[in-house]
A and B are shown apart, each in its own frame.
Chain A
Amino acid sequence: MAKTKLKTGAQMVVDMLVDEGVEMLWGLTGGAVLPIFDALYQNRDRIQLIDTRHEQGAIHMAEGYAKATGKVGVCIATSGPGATNIVTGLTDAYMDSVPLVAITGQVPSPLIGTDAFQEADVVGITRSCTKHNFLVKNIQELPQIMRDAFFIARTGRPGPVLVDIPKDIAAASAEVPYPKHSTVPLSKLMPTADMSQIEKMAELIKHAKRPLIYAGGGVINAGASEALYKFARKTNIPVTLTLMGLGAYPAGDRQFIDMLGMHGSYRANMTLTHCDLLIAIGARFDDRVTGKLSGFSPNSKKIHIDVDPTSIGKNVKVDAHILGDMNTILAALAKQVGSQDYEEWYDQIDVWQKKHPLAYKQPANGPVKPQFAVDEIYRLTKGDAIITTEVGQHQMWAAQYYKFNKPRRWITSGGLGTMGFGFPAAIGAAFAFPDSTVIDIAGDGSFQMTMQELAIVKQYNLNVKIIILNNKFLGMVKQWQDLFFDKRYASTSIPVQPDFVKLAECYGIKGYRAETIEEVTEVLTEVFKSKEPCIVDIAVDVEEHVYPMVPAGGANTDMVLSKEHDQERVAAERAAARAKGGKK
């Protein structure tokens, strides 16, 4: 864009958003941000603003949009409480590498530092939960800061960037040319791949008898799912995915061996533990994946392909690594490697799979198993829906039982584990893909954290289905209490709940309840026929646990596989404790 006429700071913000390709943003207004909302209003034919009921809702919607599309999500809030309300979302986006630009109003420059009304040190507060942040001190630098913010948010390992704009700067006018480029060096954000490592990696792959690909959300962020598929299919190496990586490799493929980690499948964790070469791609060796580090894939050589230098060697030492654009790297690596049949290795993996497949028992007349509900959702949507989740047991069951064949259909809060994320994220995804069915597989506890955004699904008639797996408990914490705290249910029971059917109705959308397996099938069949929003409240078995489970601090092979198995484990532990006590 060429040099333009006199414009307000607020107008510059809007112009830069439009120039960056932003079609919509989510926010909630207030005093300090008023000039920018005014400019957005005047430009409503160029960019759509969606008013949310809470700033946390706005930022999770922007995250949901970003995760579903790969584009930068944008949200806007006022100073003080508006800005502090998005801190959880910023941290969530930072942990899960979501490209995001958050704009906050700030009190007028002369008032900064005076404890003014609705003043908060927002750049100070958000310094450790953003990739970078800016306080605009001068209208002259505003367009460049906006350009830099988007460049930083989307380049390399994506992340949230916050721009704090004092009210007087948004209201002031100036003639400032709009910059075309960011001033931040590309090399700062995106390392150039050191291709000399490719040969070393190819050599390691060539000599491996029991290799495993362990891929994560970085593959999806890099848009490298196709490259991963080609590489894996060419080499015939089995693939496991992290929670964040689901969809990066087709779940229906014969080489796919499920999710790994704390609630990963038996075969995935056994394969991980016994492999002789582990190829980590766009994954960061999170503690939920590694379990106890000393027991983590102890006999393997390790290769790490990533975009973030700090991820290399942070938790686990690797034998070879390469940093840079994943598409380039995977394509180059695929050229250097051949195919092997790994017959014995696959046979062994099959043995593990037959021994303990992911499974549950649904009694014909008993309470609804949550896994059954997820299975039905999968069956009835034919795997084509966009699934978001809250955080807890329902999230893990969704991850285990809904099969994703394509990336960007699985939207969940992994790193931060933010309850209340899934519903607004579903709204963001629904705005991006109005023709898709978007399902928030929710827990009753999580949904109550952000359910005020029901007004938005009604207002825009979004095709969002909120399916609550309701056990009247904060189920995952209850599970830990069952296993490790002698069933003392401190603060996890939620005996008093809204009637979710009536809640839906009071917002003017449909509500359904299902208490038996027949009702589950019947209700789900009906709701997927329509394109309208609804809540489905499914009463599920309170006593159900997520298995397998690697107990915190345990190695991946310490998986607890079922309740019976856990009872054996507890009995053995008690016996050991008694024996130890006896010696004293």
Chain B
Amino acid sequence: MRHTISVLVNNHSGVLSRVSNLFSARGYNIDSLVVGITDDPKVSRITIVVRGDERVIDQVEKQLNKLIDTIKVVDLTHDDFIARDLALIKVKAEPHTRSQVMEIVQCFDGKIVDVALKSFIIEVTGKESKINAMVELLKNYGILEMVRTGEVAISRGKKVHEETEKQVKVKAGKAGQSNL
């Protein structure tokens, strides 16, 4: 099954490599891994889309939690969550196909962000499945180049994972102590 896991980590150098290393070292399959800053400059958020059965996902979560730089791991899959992928697609647009391509872009709520003599660059955001569908259609016209961000995700409603994380950090200051 496909899981979307959101990981809050300390914004240290090398943290991304710790996370990605974990996946390669233990042979887990990831579809995408996106890292970006949060409203707290000390904290980054990594969104990982990973495939595996219950046992694998359980291990992924536990192994991520075990990293010293991990603050919080949330499997959003069981939440009501919003997931978005952004794609920039350079597609052939010959005089006789231009209007058809533009129609598809409109249908998918995309934008044409660059126009050349025989091609467009299209920007589109949405769920992975929506972008996949659009890509399938555009293949008929000839995709020259494509770049996708991979999925970023956040849970709906009031639930705030970063808030929890801030509380955790306050507690941490008191709990972490030398055994001496």
Contact = CB atoms under 8 A, between A and B. Distances in A.
Real binding pair: yes
A19 B179 CA distance: 11
A147 to B, nearest CB: 6
Interface in B145-180: 168, 171-173, 175-180
Interface in B1-53: 14, 17-18, 21, 25
B14 A123 contact: yes
Given A127-B17, A313-B58, A186 B68 contact: no
A309 B65 CA distance: 9
B14 A185 contact: no
A150 B178 contact: yes
B170 to A, nearest CB: 10
A152 interface: yes
B55 interface: yes
A465 B21 CA distance: 42
B178 A181 contact: yes
Given A127-B17, A147-B178, A185 B172 contact: yes
Contacts of A308: 66
Interface in A147-161: 147, 150-152, 154-155
B125 interface: no
A20 B172 CA distance: 21
A313 B55 contact: yes
A15 B58 CA distance: 42
Contact of B178 (A180, A312, A314): A180
Given A128-B21, A309-B65, A184 B172 contact: yes
A584 interface: no
Interface string B114-150: 0000000000000000000000000000000000000
A19 B17 contact: no
Given A183-B172, A309-B66, A127 B21 contact: yes
B14 A135 contact: yes
B168 A185 contact: yes
A163 to B, nearest CB: 13
A252 interface: no
A182 B178 contact: yes
A152 B63 CA distance: 16
B59 A314 contact: yes
B68 A188 contact: yes
A150 B178 CA distance: 8
A309 B25 CA distance: 18
A425 B142 CA distance: 65
Interface residues of B, number: 24
A310 interface: yes
A66 to B, nearest CB: 15
A310 B63 contact: yes
B22 to A, nearest CB: 8
B177 A186 contact: yes
Please indicate which of the listed interface residues B17, B55, B179 has the most CB atoms of chain A within 10 Å of its own CB: B179
A132 B176 contact: no
Interface in A273-320: 308-310, 312-314, 317
Contacts of A123: 14
Contacts of B63: 310
Contacts of B14: 123-124, 127, 135
Given A128-B25, A310-B62, A185 B176 contact: yes
A21 B180 contact: yes
B65 A151 contact: no
Given A132-B68, A135-B14, A151 B62 contact: no
Contacts of B67: 132
A497 interface: no
A213 B68 CA distance: 32
Interface string A132-154: 10010000000000010011101
A180 B173 CA distance: 11
B142 to A, nearest CB: 41
Contacts of B179: 151, 154-155
A106 to B, nearest CB: 14
B153 to A, nearest CB: 24
A459 interface: no
Contacts of B65: 309
A289 B55 CA distance: 20
A309 B58 CA distance: 10
Nearest to A182: B176
Given A124-B17, A127-B18, A185-B168, A309 B175 contact: no
B176 A186 contact: yes
A350 B68 CA distance: 47
A185 B67 CA distance: 12
Contacts of B173: 183
A124 B55 CA distance: 28
Given A127-B14, A127-B21, 6 more contacts: A127-B17, A135-B14, A183-B173, A185-B172, A308-B66, A313-B55
7 contacts: A124-B17, A135-B14, A182-B177, A185-B171, A185-B172, A309-B66, A313-B58
Interface of B: 14, 17-18, 21, 25, 55, 58-59, 62-63, 65-68, 168, 171-173, 175-180
